[in-house]
Structure 1
Amino acid sequence: METVGTEVKLKKNLVTLLVLTLSGSFIYTLPYFRSYYYDGFMKAFNLTNAQMGLCSVCFGGIGAISYLFGGIISDRFSIKLLIPTSMILTGTLGFCLLFSPPPAIVILIHALWGLTSLMMFYPALMKSIRALAGSTEQGKAFGIFEGGRGIFNAGYLTIAAVIFARMVAAGSESLGIRRIILFYATVTTLLGVLTIFLLRDLPEENSGEKKSFQLKLIAKPAKIPEVWLMIGIIFSTLTVSQGYYYISPYVTNTFTVSAVVGVILTSASQYIRPFASMGAGFLGDRINSSKVMLIGQVGLFIGVATILVCNSMGIIPVLIASLIIFVCMYFCVSMHFAIMEEFDCPPEWEGAAIGLICCLGYMPEVTNHFIAGQLLDHFPGNTGYRLFFIYMLVVVAIGIGLTLIWFKRTKQKRMSMLKNNQKLKGLKE
């Protein structure tokens, strides 16, 4: 790790960042791929729909709670140990599926994935990415991370689809599921081994004396107002990031277009993701991350509002609004932890703060589907969709207000960062 002043040169650590990006993409292939191959997975392991639901509940429920513990763990133990161990354990659990375990064991494996891929891995991953870049490179680092994940996601989904198609053509859908599991488990495990070597020189603020695990440590970041502002800001943007899936059925129901158009509309977000995320990252390092966050939030508000008011004006305005939403939601997601550089969080609490932020800020992953389901069931037709879009609009508006408060509270730190950046540019010149 080479430093200039207090800055870690991101370009010196680019290979490590890319491997961590690939790792951050692959570790979630095993817990989530059942959603892409629902029927095939269910048949391969003789599961009922209820048992498939339990897989989701166990992974998501344990994972949500795990964020809290994971943050504290990343402060107590070396992230050089946590990241490789979590990936190797996740891959090993994948290999266990190849032995055709009974449904109860399949559900247990999903619960354990909640521990390995969320508790052990995610907070440590966020800390490692922050450590790879200097204070004026955070936006770029997280932009490359989010954009890279989009590219890698598209790559491994394509490979998995080819594997599955060949096995189905050979007359064995279940074998196709197992070949995908073998592919995902093997790559995840190998990446875990690779990160052992790549993270050897990663600097850690908490690399000194390791203290015992204490849950009460979560109370310390909970007293920092900026942590709660980050929770609210992330919650507001993820409400749209997790809710945009409902745009596709709304479009097909309202404008009587084919389901293919709806699928293309949803898929377009993944092609936009790399460009929007990386663009946001580079822009964030130029004008600061929180300004990019605000731009993204305003864009989300405009996009959702347009969908609400243009339902009688044809599909074109709605498609344009959807594209605006796709760009802006990745603007926001890329800045989620880049803005953390704009306030002073003690290094010894950083992991605990990230864990608390993830635990509460990521709640739309659970609440969105419940709220949307209730609205769509009680208000059939387009009314339920429109009420859900109104809910998203209100939450984004609150998020914009929280970001404006963030500007006031972090003004001095951002000015200090700007001066530091100008000094570095002067030294380079």
Structure 2
Amino acid sequence: MLTKKKWTIFSLLVLCGGTIYKLPSLKDAFYVPMQEYFNLTNGEIGNAMSVNSIVTTIGFFLSIYFSDRLPRRFTMSVSLITTGLLGVYLSTMPGYWGILFVWALFGVTCDMLNWPVLLKSVSLLGDKTQQGRLFGFFETGRGVVDTVVAFSALGVFAWFGGGYLGFKAGILFYSSIAIIVGIILFFAMKGNVEEAELAKQEEKKKAEKPGLGGVLKNKTVWLIAFSVFCVYAVYCGLTFFIPFLSNVYALPIALVGAYGIINQYCLKMVGGPIGGLIADNVLKSPSKYLFYTFIISVVLLVVLIILPHEHMSVYLGMVCTLVFGAVVFTQRAVFFAPIGEAGISEKNTGAAMALGSFIGYAPAMFCYSLYGYILDGYPGLLGYQIVFGLMAVFACMGICISAMLIKSIRQDKQSTSLQSA
């Protein structure tokens, strides 16, 4: 599917995507240590994620303008290195307000500067028939990197005693990895295909600016953005499967970190290729794949609500949550692929990705806090059942929006065919 040079770029993009979010996603492997050593409640951890998302949302709006204009190699490298430096500060164990400040800056370094540019770089490696596979295998690669780095951090945590010192060492490990990858990416991508491509398009860009207005007026792009919104609102709930198993099933503390890594990272390796290949080869449409998996998500969430969790084995509980998580990760693998499916022009791809991210990741502004406060306000199984119910509501919204998206893409293709004829 890709040339040797494009595989090199793809591998670097995977490395970037798999390392930059380790610090902002510290909760995935260190949820309990964060509560203990940062002295945070479920709601306060949710607040940090929500502050991060507020800054991220503003950043995505700004990146609609510059994501098609700045050199990708520079923005991705700077974002990685700056994220690592923020992690060094985080290792000093700042107070609650310091933590909010760091997570706010993560919204700038990881999302505004990096994510839309990273997505555009992946999308441009293939044509519209390859988008599902590209993003699917990109998620798989991220899952591999995520898992290796996260389990290594847990190893560092255990090596230094599994307490305060181990937690601090784990944070510094994540920080050093981000800085090293940023430096590697900056030099490895210099003079590569991307630079030659930018040089060739320099004159063209002077005469033809990215059509921001056209993107904002494109109904299909907005539908894609809101379908991502629904997927991400459901995805936010996966974080709370960790305390769910710990509180309701009494999952041993030794398994909590390992489960968090499997839940957030290993599932990418499963969900990425499955989602991408089914979307491209079976359904021939990422938007149709989202429609069907939203239906499956609603069914699985209803099952999770009515199951007698108090009388079930912890391992059965883990399997049930992981099966649902796998479905969500197949959606995450392809939820930006409809941009390629819809035939958005190359000069507008970055703006479309930024708009999709601006709307799509907005649930993190309120979902983490909302879910966290529900769990604090309704201790025990009831709180989790309410959260699962809200996730099901977002999935139902996704069914409606993805159905409209399928119709919109079909109409766009018919209109293009008539014009060409």
What TM-score does the superposition give when structure 1 sets the normalisation length? 0.78
Distance of 2:167 and 2:378 partners within structure 1: 39
Q: Is residue 293 of structure 2 the alignment partner of residue 296 of structure 1?
A: yes
In structure 2, do the counterparts of structure 1 residues 184 and 311 end up closer, same or farther at CA, with 3 Å as the change threshold?
Answer: same
**Cα contact 1:128–1:202 (8 A) shared by 2:** no
Residue matched to 2:270: 275
Q: Is residue 343 of structure 2 the alignment partner of residue 310 of structure 1?
A: no
Residue matched to 2:230: 236
**Cα contact 2:49–2:365 (8 A) shared by 1:** no
In structure 2, do the counterparts of structure 1 residues 233 and 261 end up closer, same or farther at CA, with 3 Å as the change threshold?
Answer: farther
Among candidates 123, 126, 135, match of residue 133 of structure 1: 126
Among candidates 8, 29, 36, match of residue 15 of structure 1: 8
How far does the alpha carbon of each residue in 1:18-68 deviate from its partner, in whole angstroms, 9 at most, with x for none? 221111111223444377457878999xx7759988865654432221111
Q: Is residue 384 of structure 2 the alignment partner of residue 385 of structure 1?
A: yes
**Cα contact 1:249–1:262 (8 A) shared by 2:** no
Bigger Cα displacement from structure 2, 198-207 vs 390-399? 198-207
Secondary structure in 1 aligned to 2:189?
helix
Distance of 1:372 and 1:309 partners within structure 2: 19
Residue matched to 2:160: 167
**Cα contact 1:9–1:134 (8 A) shared by 2:** no
- Give ranges in structure 1 of 5+ residues lacking alignment: 1-7, 419-429
* Equivalence map 1:20-99=2 (5 Å): 20-33=13-26, 36-37=29-30, 59-94=52-87
How far does the alpha carbon of each residue in 1:357-379 deviate from its partner, in whole angstroms, 9 at most, with x for none? 21221122232223223433444
In structure 2, do the counterparts of structure 1 residues 179 and 335 end up closer, same or farther at CA, with 3 Å as the change threshold?
Answer: closer
**Cα contact 2:135–2:334 (8 A) shared by 1:** yes
How far does the alpha carbon of each residue in 1:208-253 deviate from its partner, in whole angstroms, 9 at most, with x for none? 4667xx9x97654232211221122112111221112334544565
In structure 2, do the counterparts of structure 1 residues 220 and 183 end up closer, same or farther at CA, with 3 Å as the change threshold?
Answer: same
User: How large is the RMSD of aligned CA atoms in angstroms?
Assistant: 4.1
**Cα contact 2:55–2:107 (8 A) shared by 1:** yes
Kindly state the Cα deviation for residue 84 of structure 1 after the two structures are TM-superposed.
2.9
Q: Is residue 284 of structure 2 the alignment partner of residue 285 of structure 1?
A: no
Residue matched to 1:359: 358
* Equivalence map 1:300-379=2 (5 Å): 300-311=297-308, 315=312, 321-379=320-378
Secondary structure in 2 aligned to 1:29?
coil
What is the one-letter code of the residue matched to 1:116? T
In structure 2, do the counterparts of structure 1 residues 392 and 196 end up closer, same or farther at CA, with 3 Å as the change threshold?
Answer: same
Kindly state the Cα deviation for residue 105 of structure 1 after the two structures are TM-superposed.
7.7
Residue matched to 1:3: none
* Equivalence map 1:151-166=2 (5 Å): 151-166=144-159
**Cα contact 1:280–1:331 (8 A) shared by 2:** yes
Kindly state the Cα deviation for residue 132 of structure 1 after the two structures are TM-superposed.
0.9
**Cα contact 1:303–1:322 (8 A) shared by 2:** no
What is the one-letter code of the residue matched to 1:221? V
In structure 2, do the counterparts of structure 1 residues 65 and 139 end up closer, same or farther at CA, with 3 Å as the change threshold?
Answer: same
How far does the alpha carbon of each residue in 1:125-167 deviate from its partner, in whole angstroms, 9 at most, with x for none? 0110001112111111101111111111110112222233333
In structure 2, do the counterparts of structure 1 residues 277 and 154 end up closer, same or farther at CA, with 3 Å as the change threshold?
Answer: same
In structure 2, do the counterparts of structure 1 residues 294 and 312 end up closer, same or farther at CA, with 3 Å as the change threshold?
Answer: same
Distance of 2:410 and 2:384 partners within structure 1: 39
In structure 2, do the counterparts of structure 1 residues 208 and 90 end up closer, same or farther at CA, with 3 Å as the change threshold?
Answer: farther
Secondary structure in 1 aligned to 2:375?
helix
Q: Is residue 223 of structure 2 the alignment partner of residue 224 of structure 1?
A: no
Residue matched to 1:124: 117
Distance of 1:360 and 1:407 partners within structure 2: 19
Among candidates 174, 177, 192, match of residue 184 of structure 1: 177
Percent of pairs identical after alignment? 22
What is the one-letter code of the residue matched to 1:18? S
What is the one-letter code of the residue matched to 2:22? T
Report which of the two structures shows the higher radius of gyration computed on alpha carbons: 1
**Cα contact 1:307–1:318 (8 A) shared by 2:** no
Distance of 2:133 and 2:56 partners within structure 1: 28
Kindly state the Cα deviation for residue 123 of structure 1 after the two structures are TM-superposed.
0.7
Kindly state the Cα deviation for residue 76 of structure 1 after the two structures are TM-superposed.
2.5
Residue matched to 1:397: 396
Distance of 2:378 and 2:27 partners within structure 1: 30
Kindly state the Cα deviation for residue 329 of structure 1 after the two structures are TM-superposed.
0.6
What TM-score does the superposition give when structure 2 sets the normalisation length? 0.79
Distance of 2:160 and 2:113 partners within structure 1: 34
Bigger Cα displacement from structure 2, 107-116 vs 283-292? 107-116
Distance of 1:285 and 1:417 partners within structure 2: 21
In structure 2, do the counterparts of structure 1 residues 301 and 260 end up closer, same or farther at CA, with 3 Å as the change threshold?
Answer: farther
**Cα contact 1:76–1:206 (8 A) shared by 2:** no
**Cα contact 2:10–2:122 (8 A) shared by 1:** yes
Distance of 1:233 and 1:155 partners within structure 2: 30
Distance of 1:343 and 1:200 partners within structure 2: 24
What is the one-letter code of the residue matched to 1:325? F
